[in-house]
Structure 1
Amino acid sequence: MDLDAVRTFVAAVDAGRFQDAAAELSITQQAVSKRVATLERILGVSLFTRTGRGAKLTIDGQAFLPHARDLLRAEERALASVRPGRRALRVDVIGRRLAPAGLLRGFHRAFPEVELDVVTLFDADAAIDAIRSGTIDASFRAVAMPGLRLPDDFGAARVFDEPIQLLTGPDHALASARAVTPADLAGYRIWMPGIVPGTEWAAYYDALADAFGLTIETTGPDFGIEPLLDTIADSRSLVTFVGEETRLVWPAGHGLRRIAVRDPVPVYPHSLLWHRDNPHPALASLRDHLRSGLSDRPETETWTPVWAQ
């Protein structure tokens, strides 16, 4: 549908006369008539009855008017979503079930007036490129991973240390444990097919395995979280790691167990990245909100890779 014609129709309704609508739109009265006629032809109905006092809406015109206004509002939202300085705050959360998405939901509850666009990018390199180009405003990443160097004009702040938990099926030898230590897991098969070499989460779990002598297997295709949960639920030998804040839902019959890992608690280091010259007015509010939540977790002995300390 021709949105210029829709805009002209709404202007004519609001002005009451084609002549006044033409002045408001900075076009000729003839152009107003032409656009309205085009819209009527597209719709197959008459929208106005012309009178000596101006233009009066027909029944069809009255029915179409609220939808015409909706179209123009949708156009404005579409433009604002990509217009620098006016679009919503756009943040990369890596995955919508992971802890960064929960942090962003907390920010939204605290600042419901801030419009948010939530995106998911694959790795830190993609996030850095998107921040540099202005495509996104911020990203949650483990930014100190080996081989990753942030540009000098980037800002980064550690915002959340997420405890790692063990996930087992009901028949696994560790299923009844209330907690385990990292050392307790030596010799068990920890299966994580979603780990991709070169990513920040691969660097984290490589360091975890090296520090405590663990066996983390990444073999086999990654079909997503649901098939992984199905496999773990039916296995007596396989376990996997999940973040404490990762949102998981499984059928009641699976009987999966989330088990705390302690002494020390392995924590995944989530940081927020942004460009120092980013002018988005809500970015500072996001940083301040995340900074205020850093002290919420009680002190406990934790482990994180040397490169993240």
Structure 2
Amino acid sequence: MKIDIIGVQAFVAIADHGGFQKAADVLNITQTAITQRLRHLEDFLGVTLIERTTRSVGLTTIGEDFLPRARRLLQELSAALTEIRETGKAQRGDVSVACVPTAGIQYLPAIIQEYSARYPENRIKILDHSSFGVAQAVLRREAEFGINVATASHPELVSTPLVEDQFVLICRDDHPVARAASLTWAQLEGHALIFAGQVNGNRPLRDSLLGGTADIGPMPVALQAHYEVQRSSTAVGLVAAGIAAAVVPKLAMQSGAYPRLRVIPLLDPVISRTLALVVRKGARLSPAAQVLHDLILARSLEGERSQKGVTSSNGARKKARVKRASKA
């Protein structure tokens, strides 16, 4: 049913100000316009709300009954519109975000901490899903946006790279390789390993780069996946219990959470995955979600600039060492 708000507004103004001309002046419209608005409302309702004579204007019985409800309707509508407008200006509201679990371990906490300091009244709902689940949550509008493992993009999603997350080996301090500063993939041969299962977005990436049992350099590498889990956090727990070593994304390890665990970079080749920010094409985020979305992107750009600075600094030091050596 179509609700004639402007007709209701005209009716209340005429009743409150006692005439068509005064009501028209208050609403900043012509007397003809306010007369037409009232007539349309009465035609729609099928009743007469105001009795008009050449000398006076008065409410009918139905008009008197309707007036307090009409006032309440306009007041509630005005309050609702004001609340929405103020919420938009202040970026207030609830935010739902989907993410792969590892993003919630190291990447998101600092960003959420900063966001919560700025907007303490806003609530954040985090849906931690598999890579497929993150995409589905965004597509179904269960989450306004998501942080996912960058893979072949869904046609209805827009993906923006955020951070590179290198695969590492984690093991307990009593493991035979625990003292290694780094390892090649070939050096993992013969060790029982824990890998992520098919539901986890890390497994397809590992298989595509290593080929399951692939060639790394001149020698074939046969990795012994004794255990498969769906989440990297489960792998971390198994390693802490001394079950085996595990290949996980570096972000899966929370700093200081497991003092006995060692994180060892894997080389030849260095394998990493990309975490990406995903949103629906053409989506208009709520003000509260837009601020969080932009903050995540800003932190990503800061990380890129910081990494470039480190790389440039290392390059300069290397050139200086070469120059000193050549002089010697």
TM (norm. structure 2) is 0.53
Q: Does the alignment pair 1:179 with 2:182?
A: yes
1:228 corresponding residue in structure 2:
238
Residues 98-177 of structure 1 mapped to structure 2, 5 A cutoff: 98-111=102-115, 112-114=117-119, 115=122, 117-144=124-151, 148-151=152-155, 153-177=156-180
In 2 relative to 1, CA 214–124 (structure 1 residues): closer, same or farther, beyond 3 Å? same
1:257 corresponding residue in structure 2:
262
Report the AA paired with residue 201 of structure 2. E
Residues 7-46 of structure 1 mapped to structure 2, 5 A cutoff: 26=72
Q: What secondary structure sits across from 1:287 in the alignment?
A: helix
1:267 corresponding residue in structure 2:
272
Q: What secondary structure sits across from 1:278 in the alignment?
A: coil
CA displacement at 1:179 relative to structure 2: 1.4
Where in structure 1 are there 5+ consecutive unaligned residues? 1-21, 28-75, 301-309
Where in structure 2 are there 5+ consecutive unaligned residues? 1-67, 74-82, 313-328
**How far, CA to CA, are the matches of 1:104 and 1:256 in structure 2?**
22
Conservation of the 8 A alpha-carbon contact between 2:194 and 2:235 = no
Q: What secondary structure sits across from 2:300 in the alignment?
A: helix
In 2 relative to 1, CA 155–226 (structure 1 residues): closer, same or farther, beyond 3 Å? closer
Range with greater deviation from structure 2 (176-185 or 256-265): 256-265
CA displacement at 1:296 relative to structure 2: 2.8
**How far, CA to CA, are the matches of 1:165 and 1:272 in structure 2?**
23
Q: Does the alignment pair 1:90 with 2:101?
A: no
**How far, CA to CA, are the matches of 2:92 and 2:172 in structure 1?**
48
2:45 corresponding residue in structure 1:
none
**How far, CA to CA, are the matches of 1:221 and 1:126 in structure 2?**
16
TM (norm. structure 1) is 0.55
**How far, CA to CA, are the matches of 1:107 and 1:250 in structure 2?**
19
Higher helix proportion (structure 1 or 2): 2
**How far, CA to CA, are the matches of 1:222 and 1:285 in structure 2?**
30
Q: What secondary structure sits across from 1:202 in the alignment?
A: helix
2:198 corresponding residue in structure 1:
197
Conservation of the 8 A alpha-carbon contact between 2:99 and 2:147 = yes
CA displacement at 1:160 relative to structure 2: 0.6
2:225 corresponding residue in structure 1:
217
CA displacement at 1:150 relative to structure 2: 0.8
CA displacement at 1:168 relative to structure 2: 1.8
CA displacement at 1:219 relative to structure 2: 3.7
CA displacement at 1:161 relative to structure 2: 0.5
**How far, CA to CA, are the matches of 2:128 and 2:113 in structure 1?**
23
**How far, CA to CA, are the matches of 2:257 and 2:112 in structure 1?**
27
1:72 corresponding residue in structure 2:
none
Q: Deviations over 1:198-221 (max 9, x none)?
A: 441221222344244241515477
Q: Deviations over 1:240-268 (max 9, x none)?
A: 1233232166666xx33222223443222
CA displacement at 1:91 relative to structure 2: 1.6
Q: Deviations over 1:139-159 (max 9, x none)?
A: 111231xxx5412x4210111
In 2 relative to 1, CA 184–296 (structure 1 residues): closer, same or farther, beyond 3 Å? farther
Q: What secondary structure sits across from 1:174 in the alignment?
A: coil
In 2 relative to 1, CA 286–220 (structure 1 residues): closer, same or farther, beyond 3 Å? closer
| Identity in percent | 14
Tell me which structure has the larger Cα radius of gyration. Answer: 2
Report the AA paired with residue 186 of structure 1. E
2:300 corresponding residue in structure 1:
290
Report the AA paired with residue 109 of structure 2. R
Q: What secondary structure sits across from 2:143 in the alignment?
A: coil
CA displacement at 1:228 relative to structure 2: 0.4
